[in-house]
Amino acid sequence: MAEKPSFEDYLAVPMFEEFHKKNFLLLEGKEHGSYSYPDLLVAKTLSHHGKNWYQSHEALHQEGMSMPTLRQFVDFLNLLKSGKAFDGKGQQVSSGELEAILKEITEQRNLYRAEWLDADFKVINNVSHINYAHQTINGKLQPKYSEPLQGWLMEDKQIDLEDYLKRATFQGLPPVDVKSGRVYYWKLLSDNNSVAGFWAVADRVDLGCRRNPQYSDTAIGVRRAQAKI
């Protein structure tokens, strides 16, 4: 059986290279002690709609890409809010385009929009854990990191998006004392079958940590991410 093309193989195709560079934003790497990651290229738009959480990982990994972790998603939204970002070609993206991307993710409007995030929650010995940075190893999806949750909001609550983005935990969750607001936050369930996602529609915006990973809908997509080469 022929090997699946690597990410470098995709980049070797001129048309894909142009698409890749123009349609991704540079998210600078973080070295915060508690969490770190390299410079990333993160897609401006969603892809792979209609797949469940597992299928989305599989599709991304076949392309040599990954799903943003919960913390990376927070940092991506903060990048959009900053009004200053660069695409994969190193060209500055207009503040108007960044605002449009942010609104597409977070604004209440009729069209239902949703995306999977790379966070899987498990309860081990009565302690809630987060698994993230998933990789496909020998055909199985496995997290690179598994950590006890720290400093996180342990109840359902309507939270303030601005405060959440400013003070998210190093694992990407709202802090215990996050301010009240309009975003519905749904804490993880203890069923060991909960993953993260973010969605928006006309009457609400939700940050959920209790999505069933087997669930799928044509409105749900995923945002490609890849370490900058």
Counting Cα atoms < 13 Å in the Cβ hemisphere of 210 gives 12
Largest pairwise CA distance in the chain: 54
Angle between helices 95-106 and 70-82 (to 10 degrees): 140
Among candidates 108, 105, 127, 107, which has minimal Cα distance to 116? 105
Show the DSSP H helices in the chain as ranges: 7-11, 14-22, 53-62, 70-82, 95-106, 161-167
Residue 145 confidence (pLDDT) above 80 = yes
* pLDDT at 229 (0 to 100): 75
Tens-digit pLDDT profile for residues 109-131 = 999 999 999 999 999 999 999 99
Asked, for residue 217, whether it belongs to a domain, the answer is yes
pTM: 0.91
* pLDDT at 2 (0 to 100): 41
Asked, for residue 80, whether it belongs to a domain, the answer is yes
Asked, for residue 1, whether it belongs to a domain, the answer is no
Structural domain count, the chain: 1
Asked, for residue 195, whether it belongs to a domain, the answer is yes
Tens-digit pLDDT profile for residues 146-173 = 999 999 999 999 999 999 999 999 999 9
Angle, CA 193 vertex, CA 132 and CA 201 arms, to 5°? 85
Asked, for residue 2, whether it belongs to a domain, the answer is no
* pLDDT at 5 (0 to 100): 47
Residue 16 confidence (pLDDT) above 50 = no
